[in-house]
Amino acid sequence: MKLYEYEKIPSQYEKLIEHIKENIALHQYFKEDWGDVKTKQYCGILSFEKDDYYLLPKISNDENTNLDIFIYMLMYVYDIKLSNEQIASCKNEKSETLLEVLVQMFVQNLLDELKKGIYKEYVTHEDNLRTLKGKYLINENLKYNFVKTKIYCEYDEFSENNTLNQFFLYTIKNLQKFVKNKKYLKQCELIFDEVESFSFDVDLLNIHFTRVNKRFEKSYYLALLLLKRLIPLYSKGKNSFAFLFDMNVLFEKFIAKVIKSIDNNAKIQNQNSFGNLLLKPDIILKNQIIDTKYKRIKSLEDLKQSDKLQAFAYGINYGLKNAVLLYPKHLDDVNKELFLGENENKICLKINSIDLNFEGNFKEFIEEIKRRLERIL
């Protein structure tokens, strides 16, 4: 079943509407308007009572095209390699959802690396031992040992019970709650049988990769992608979850990555301080600044004063006389130009929209978006 951003959820989904209303965790992703529940700018999957609802961006009049484009944007931004068969599976309501496909991609990637050998590193331990091992800890020995049958030691052990493996085990156990196909997840769990189980705050986690553990880096970032966007929901004993992406962020990252592929000198998310003013434009090119806005805009009347002021501040402080506000196309192409400020402080502001609608495969889609952006730039 498919729903669209910024639209009222049809009354026929009465149970889903009540589920959203009573779940505080969902209130930031939906809004209530005079009793109706409307979607916002978050797209992905909402699972409820064994039904999966796709929340999609409204780019095309064709449902399958909208799902394709959403998947293509995710693939490009997060460097996800999905086959045509996997993409087709996501579109088949009787088959796997996008979440199922991404979980299987994560676990297969992890299994491939584990077959080459589980990752081990030196881990420091402190323990009471019968014989000396490593470093003798005098203070701890006096504190804990009243008899001389044991020695309190600190030693390093080449162990698989390290933070990276503990995080993978945490991910594997969590993902089993949200997918139907648990076969390969359980296989991975058995491989980590000597690893201790811990909980992690994924927003604070920071694993350092070296040439020794580099082969696990893709699995690590796939795990973060999945965990950061999975929202467990519990309502009246019923299991449910959401797997959602903020289209503001996805659109910004997508456009920035495409432009970077066109112009390798482009600076992305370059933050600078100008006195007490902190500025972080999306994209800085040699002769212009581009700021992406995932908003519906039909004409200049829809342009917010705050967006114009932001573009003006970028141009003045970065010393560039051209700024672009780039929106996704809604109904009509928006291609306008206006001037902000006067004399030496005059900034040329272009308001453009990029049409994301395209029917074709992933590679063709990216190449076409590049061509469309090159015409704007």
What does the pLDDT look like over 97-141, one tens digit per residue? Answer: 899 999 999 999 999 999 999 998 877 777 777 676 666 666 777
Q: What is the pLDDT of residues 165-195, one digit of tens each?
A: 999 999 999 999 888 889 999 999 999 998 9
Specify the DSSP element, H or E, that contains 278.
strand 277-279
Torsion angle, alpha carbons of 359, 84, 101, 231, to 10: -10
Contact of 231 with 26, CB cutoff 8 Å = yes
**pLDDT confidence tier of residue 247, bands split at 50, 70 and 90:** very high
Residue 33 has pLDDT above 60, yes or no: yes
Residue 277 has pLDDT above 90, yes or no: no
Task: Name the β-bridge partners of 284.
Answer: 267, 289
Contact of 102 with 90, CB cutoff 8 Å = no
The DSSP code for 62 is S
| Rounded-to-integer distance, Cα 224 and Cα 25, Å | 20
Strands 283-284 and 267-268: antiparallel
Q: What DSSP line would sit under 337-348, residue for residue?
A: EEEES-GGG-EE
HSE value, Cβ hemisphere, 13 Å, CA-based, for 203 = 2
At how many degrees (to 10) do helices 98-114 and 163-175 cross? 150
Under the phi-then-psi rule, with left for phi > 0, alpha for psi from -120 to 50, and beta for the rest, what region is 291? beta
Counting every residue written for the chain, the total comes to 377
**pLDDT confidence tier of residue 153, bands split at 50, 70 and 90:** confident
pLDDT at res. 235: 56
Q: What is the pLDDT of residues 294-340, one digit of tens each?
A: 988 877 777 889 999 999 999 999 989 999 999 998 767 788 888 98
- Average pLDDT score, the chain: 88
Q: What is the pLDDT of residues 279-301, one digit of tens each?
A: 888 999 999 999 999 988 877 77
| Rounded-to-integer distance, Cα 366 and Cα 76, Å | 8
pLDDT at res. 173: 94
